[in-house]
Structure 1
């Protein structure tokens, strides 16, 4: 009865953020015995974890892990990876559209900014043991999710080269041999509608199946006065099917297939502010806008008005199939995971962020196929546990990009003059100038990995791990530039056959390019963990890890040198070299009613791969470059308490100090850009930021400045109180819950700028409802106090000083009805 009461007390509660990872399959005997021992306390809360690729109880795993249960995700409305940072403060997720999504842990991971196909992410995203190679391919809505685990710190030994900062491990609900089902319907303001359903059961004595579907729609949050439509809407559909074949207790085969579609009119921006640059004053935003009679619909981003004149689309199709085989053979288990996944991205953007036709067209549709195969063998004994495995991966990405200049481009981008013959006064100077990009990336990877746990004594365990990895990458990029008449232009002294000489104005915006970089590398990852059980419910651990992120290739156009020639030296970037130290303490207190975990870490990365943008139209998507060294260090603490059958609560906090320790060749921020170049070979002068006409440094030393996208302080909290009642002849609980999060200020530009600083904010959410056996009805309000906040800021190309952004969700409210059987 007590266990059942505790279950009801935590169902649909966001107060469940614990340390652990859910086991997708049956629990091994050793873990089951540990769980049974921990259940000797009537309030003991046992979570089975697979963070080390084997089932264990959560508090015995010497790793910093945050776990968000599926019911907590639903109760708090955090329906995709982007929203998870509201529950896990050490996680940072920023997005301007699904493709351009940055997922970082402790300030590290994927380079912050616009995404390139040519680099690896640093936070691996896994769904049921299947790796999703691109962040964009994991921006789907959560569908029938059991729980999400955020593993903090390098996970290279077991999760691969793509986890230098951590991993997000998503576990879905699996087929069952007992018939069960669930349905959920939510409605709210902004025409919000969400429906979910799942059904599972046996098809025979040895075969079970599960089917889940979900659909979400919501009106946009920004009104476009040009199209007279609300934009940045939600229009999502997902389906997942699974078959489980279990002929005996030793063998199980799970076949899975899923498909997700997102088709919103997205993703637009609003005017946020103007900052002075070093361009001549008559070439900065206010003067340029006035010269063309342009007035933004509002200078207050929280009016949520825009006037973007280009088509907007964020069409995203994601799916794949997988086969997972688990075979118990003697003292160990052999696991095979075979998968194919695809990603089809069809975007349309407005890259000048205004209602003027400066960049009239900008789109980079991509198609990705990836294949992966993993074999693992797990062995467990009284003294020794180990995991060994092989991993193979193959990927191809094809992209066809188009960017075109509009009728307002010449007057906006070229130096104005009263001379009627000045090219800036002739729209035809740039109108119709088009860059058509064709590119592909081929990536192959193979790895041998293993991790050993040696129980030296009942209290002391030593855990070394290693991974040997081979990568090969080959890319191709070709940009063909055509004028308004469709003629291919050349920007070399002698035009190439079939082209005509481009004007200096045309070549200053787009230049034809061809590059085909190719490289390969071997890398060795290792880590060593020592953990000691100080007492029954107190575990101390220390970890050292040496990890890497493999080489990168610039796939979205190369930047220009000061003389407008292509900088081919920027075609490739070096691998990252990562060193990580961490210590932690995991405890349970008060007869295991309370859990308190704390960790301290320090990570340094040499040759950090950063996304940079020099303000050029031709590289408006940004390009990769190496910063010499970055460092992230901090402290994290997680607390959870089940005070009684009636009350639960949690509080999590993270302090993260992430800086460029040495970055001497970075692009300058807007306030130091746009003027005539300072002399070469002399120290850069930073003394005139934002002074029109002042000389601009050729590059900037940003050593000592904060990494972008990182809040120094982040908190999340939640609590729920319930009262047993009988309502409409139904026994259950009336409950009231609250959850919230806070993030301190952070910067939204790779080279931190005073114009791209995002203010800190705190969000508060409430819910109240009635639940009982098999049902839950509740109302909710999110961002209850209508806090205005910015999700992301972007620097417009051309160094005009325009800063655009996406305001966060306003107050939303609604209700949810859930049934299960």
Structure 2
């Protein structure tokens, strides 16, 4: 593993050589219609215009940390969705896990793990001013793009939706009043095909139309050895149609409709060994008692070696088939009254995704979602309306803006997660091999108990039985657990409605020539209502509880009885919940905003300092496992199951996330050289963390205590480590420095450079809620460590050369970019087995273009060095520690040799050819 000092030196060397971030957006102002992006030279140094502050401004005049990436840069890098933007934006990182709907974007090391649709994104995604409900939705094709603006830090004033860590704003190409058409066709390895086209037609002097379309097909990166075929394939298309109505210079109306459909198999994972992280050494050998169980139940030994072979062993008959549809319509109206201009954005969007899965990622049938519309389905229906009125006063000394926003969102989740046909046998064996009863384990026998073992248990201690009079009941408990097969959710539903309204103002005061004060405020109120109904046919759970619960008070029997109950009822999978419904409601009100003091020292140099406060709404954990602790008992002597579940519904709530941030920066811009630098410190209160503990997903707010907890946040007890409410403080700190630079010594050649140093850490003495409740023991490794997927150092690279070739109008294209990342932990619980070593990813493109770039041919490669790294590592489902002292599964002991880990791998090397044309 590279040391931090080496990484620092390496990154600085990369910067010094001028090999780093993307060529930043370099387009003419939107108002200057005569110059379009298509007609600009590759390395044009026209003003970079962005709308990061709700009005069109030159990037060099915006006192914010903003990266703006234009269409040419996106095209050269091969980026077609937000995931690939990370290659050319050093502060951005994007990863996806068991479903691409779960894609998570991070800025400055901060993001939201996306496996639970109840959590909104810390980094919000907007397309043409319209909020996308979760950042994973941005993994769709984007079509022809004018530019992408990446705003770093809390955005607590403008935009339709607050964001605690940053915003990715995507602006598509608008219709124009000049006819044009273009397209490209690409072919690459893995039988990759991508066909894209666009047509722009002026329908009259006041109306223009544009249509963009993309079709993508590709084989998957993983080979399903068991069932044949591949997983993580591409089969999608995208259409967007637009109308531009401009009857006068004062009024512009832009109508947009888009539709995306994906029918793909996603997302596979592999077991990881010491080639990924040294802490995995010997975890995939027979020294680990889990491995013999898996192999005895049918898992090939080849599955435990060479994760980058990308061979997977799916349970026969199981699949990862899924479907996604994403569509929407929007209308943007801009009207200039003379003294002020009004912008209205009205939108309605629909989205749904469902994804079947072999959820344990092995050939052994432990956990699965059957294909169909109930397979982890999530559906969003969102109406939004934004109004902004902006103008000037006092002779131009005040640039004012006021606005309002309203959104009504319906989220529906459907699930059919079930235990597989071998779950009960596997779970029974897991208990046995984690106890002194390991010699009695027999994966081929009922209850995983060999015939000799049953006899020994019954005949031990002079005939009284290993567990005394309880021995027959304990043996029956193993047999009952063995019977837990193909049961679980029949159709569980979670319906959430969110109503959000906000009022905001953003004002720029010119105090003296060059000295400006920006004040922004926003009041947001949001109400969420949850209605859930459960369908479950696991009748073995209540039977196991009834038979074994009396032994929980016996210190000698509690562990074995608790383990049997917990594994039979894992994640609150119980027929007690069948037909049970729950409901709840929560409201948040927050005042956020920003204050910025900026000074234009010279026409080329801007200095600024800012304070900003961002907000992300609280919500509900849309997972039945969060209703209760390790042993579900919804029905008691005094409560029905309905009443018991409703009494626990508050356990699903988590609080809003707040970011208070300071930033100072400088921007220097001349025609041939520009540089931006920003230093920041961000403090997150109620940080929303979602993590998989090997059995269930936990959603936990994270804070810190100002007093010493004496290790109470790092032990295995769920009750130690509490804090007085008055001592609660922010639990996550993100601080560092960002640097971006672009040099264009000649028209045909540009070098851009960038580096981000971000120390993104949990504080020590961590607690859970703002009331000072203890941290969940599964998160005991967090205090004082870095956040997951948060490398301290990232340097990116981009060099472009487009030489003229003779006097015939031909030109060449030579392009290379790269991303150097220091090491980080890719698991949100920070187990050492999930560490990712430093790596470097390089893309390249070489081509020949005709006169005025009317045609082109390009040869390209992505990840041409075939860097091997993981997106996210995780505890293999149910393949972790056995029952602990209180029967909890998995155990809360430090991760040892009785578990294994899996990972979602990053994409391998790809290469191909692209033909382009336009007229």
Report how far residue 795 of structure 1 moved.
1.5
SS at match of 1:287: helix
Q: Is the CA contact 2:109–2:787 (under 8 Å) kept in the aligned structure 1?
A: yes
- Partner Cα separation in structure 2 for residue 808 and residue 555 of structure 1: 28
Q: Is the CA contact 1:666–1:751 (under 8 Å) kept in the aligned structure 2?
A: no
Q: 2:872 aligns with which of 792, 795, 801?
A: 792
Give 1:464's aligned residue.
Answer: 519
After superposition, the C-alpha distances for 1:153-175 in whole angstroms (9 at most, x for unaligned) are 11110125531111111000001
- 1:652 aligned onto 2:754: yes
Q: Please give the TM-score of this superposition, normalised by the length of structure 2.
A: 0.77
Change beyond 3 A, Cα 1:116–1:193: same
Q: 2:485 aligns with which of 425, 431, 436?
A: 431
- Partner Cα separation in structure 2 for residue 807 and residue 50 of structure 1: 36
Change beyond 3 A, Cα 1:585–1:424: same
Report how far residue 455 of structure 1 moved.
0.7
Moved more, 383-392 or 307-316: 307-316
Q: 1:623 aligns with which of 671, 696, 699?
A: 699
Q: 2:676 aligns with which of 585, 597, 608?
A: 597
Provide structure 1 residue ranges, at least 5 long, that are not aligned to the other structure: 1-12, 33-38, 495-501, 668-682, 685-695
Moved more, 575-584 or 511-520: 511-520
Q: 2:846 aligns with which of 768, 777, 782?
A: 768
Give 2:857's aligned residue.
Answer: 777
Q: Matches of residues 49-198 of structure 1 in structure 2 within 5 Å?
A: 49-96=50-97, 97-110=99-112, 112=113, 114-159=114-159, 161-198=161-198
Q: Matches of residues 543-558 of structure 1 in structure 2 within 5 Å?
A: 543-558=610-625
SS at match of 2:294: helix
SS at match of 1:18: coil
- Partner Cα separation in structure 2 for residue 246 and residue 649 of structure 1: 39
Change beyond 3 A, Cα 1:614–1:198: same
SS at match of 2:907: coil
After superposition, the C-alpha distances for 1:222-280 in whole angstroms (9 at most, x for unaligned) are 111011112111112000000111111111111110001111121111221385999xx
Give 2:725's aligned residue.
Answer: none
Q: Is the CA contact 1:395–1:444 (under 8 Å) kept in the aligned structure 2?
A: yes
- Partner Cα separation in structure 2 for residue 256 and residue 465 of structure 1: 30
- Partner Cα separation in structure 2 for residue 610 and residue 758 of structure 1: 20
Report how far residue 808 of structure 1 moved.
2.1
Q: Please give the TM-score of this superposition, normalised by the length of structure 1.
A: 0.86
Q: 1:315 aligns with which of 323, 327, 330?
A: 323
Q: 1:586 aligns with which of 667, 670, 692?
A: 667
Change beyond 3 A, Cα 1:664–1:565: farther
SS at match of 2:355: strand
After superposition, the C-alpha distances for 1:438-487 in whole angstroms (9 at most, x for unaligned) are 11111000000110000111210000000000100011233332048xx9
Report how far residue 587 of structure 1 moved.
0.4
Q: Matches of residues 227-376 of structure 1 in structure 2 within 5 Å?
A: 227-273=227-273, 275=280, 284-298=289-303, 299-309=305-315, 310-361=318-369, 363-376=375-388
Change beyond 3 A, Cα 1:245–1:342: same
Change beyond 3 A, Cα 1:740–1:277: closer
SS at match of 2:390: strand
Q: Matches of residues 383-462 of structure 1 in structure 2 within 5 Å?
A: 383-414=397-428, 415-416=431-432, 417=441, 418-420=449-451, 422=475, 424=478, 429-436=483-490, 437-462=492-517
- 1:817 aligned onto 2:817: no
Q: Is the CA contact 1:190–1:218 (under 8 Å) kept in the aligned structure 2?
A: yes
After superposition, the C-alpha distances for 1:382-402 in whole angstroms (9 at most, x for unaligned) are 211111101000000111101
Report how far residue 282 of structure 1 moved.
9.4
Report how far residue 492 of structure 1 moved.
7.5
Change beyond 3 A, Cα 1:697–1:546: closer
SS at match of 2:358: coil
Report how far residue 209 of structure 1 moved.
0.4
- Partner Cα separation in structure 2 for residue 391 and residue 304 of structure 1: 46
SS at match of 2:661: strand
Give 2:707's aligned residue.
Answer: none
Q: Is the CA contact 1:438–1:479 (under 8 Å) kept in the aligned structure 2?
A: yes
Q: Is the CA contact 2:401–2:507 (under 8 Å) kept in the aligned structure 1?
A: yes
Report how far residue 784 of structure 1 moved.
1.7
- Partner Cα separation in structure 2 for residue 802 and residue 374 of structure 1: 49
- Partner Cα separation in structure 2 for residue 664 and residue 46 of structure 1: 46
After superposition, the C-alpha distances for 1:180-219 in whole angstroms (9 at most, x for unaligned) are 1111111111111111111112111211100110111111
Report how far residue 780 of structure 1 moved.
1.0
Q: Matches of residues 202-221 of structure 1 in structure 2 within 5 Å?
A: 202-221=202-221
Give 2:590's aligned residue.
Answer: 523
Moved more, 705-714 or 69-78: 69-78
- Partner Cα separation in structure 2 for residue 262 and residue 297 of structure 1: 32
- Partner Cα separation in structure 2 for residue 127 and residue 22 of structure 1: 20
Report how far residue 294 of structure 1 moved.
2.6
Report how far residue 666 of structure 1 moved.
7.3
- 1:577 aligned onto 2:582: no
Q: Is the CA contact 1:635–1:655 (under 8 Å) kept in the aligned structure 2?
A: yes
Report how far residue 353 of structure 1 moved.
1.3
After superposition, the C-alpha distances for 1:562-585 in whole angstroms (9 at most, x for unaligned) are 444576553111212221000000
Q: Matches of residues 667-746 of structure 1 in structure 2 within 5 Å?
A: 700=780, 702-726=782-806, 730-746=808-824
Cα RMSD, aligned residues only? 3.1
Number of aligned residue pairs: 754
Q: 2:763 aligns with which of 645, 648, 661?
A: 661
Q: Is the CA contact 2:219–2:234 (under 8 Å) kept in the aligned structure 1?
A: yes
- Partner Cα separation in structure 2 for residue 65 and residue 780 of structure 1: 28
Higher strand share: 1
Provide structure 2 residue ranges, at least 5 long, that are not aligned to the other structure: 1-18, 275-279, 433-440, 442-448, 455-474, 548-563, 635-647, 705-730, 882-898
Give 2:457's aligned residue.
Answer: none
SS at match of 1:17: coil
Report how far residue 297 of structure 1 moved.
3.1
Report how far residue 710 of structure 1 moved.
0.7
Higher helix share: 2
Give 1:535's aligned residue.
Answer: 602
Greater Cα radius of gyration, structure 1 or 2? 2
Report how far residue 561 of structure 1 moved.
2.0
- 1:26 aligned onto 2:27: no
SS at match of 1:205: coil
- Partner Cα separation in structure 1 for residue 32 and residue 584 of structure 2: 47
After superposition, the C-alpha distances for 1:98-137 in whole angstroms (9 at most, x for unaligned) are 2211111111232x2x522222222121111111122232
- Partner Cα separation in structure 1 for residue 357 and residue 27 of structure 2: 39
- Partner Cα separation in structure 1 for residue 868 and residue 829 of structure 2: 25
Change beyond 3 A, Cα 1:643–1:425: farther
Report how far residue 817 of structure 1 moved.
1.4
Give 1:506's aligned residue.
Answer: 568
SS at match of 2:513: coil
Change beyond 3 A, Cα 1:593–1:307: same
- Partner Cα separation in structure 2 for residue 736 and residue 639 of structure 1: 20
Report how far residue 330 of structure 1 moved.
1.3
- Partner Cα separation in structure 2 for residue 51 and residue 137 of structure 1: 21
- Partner Cα separation in structure 1 for residue 32 and residue 56 of structure 2: 6
After superposition, the C-alpha distances for 1:742-786 in whole angstroms (9 at most, x for unaligned) are 111121222211111112210112211112312222111222222
Change beyond 3 A, Cα 1:296–1:287: closer
Q: Is the CA contact 1:665–1:700 (under 8 Å) kept in the aligned structure 2?
A: no
Q: Is the CA contact 2:523–2:591 (under 8 Å) kept in the aligned structure 1?
A: yes
Report how far residue 804 of structure 1 moved.
1.4
- Partner Cα separation in structure 2 for residue 551 and residue 490 of structure 1: 37
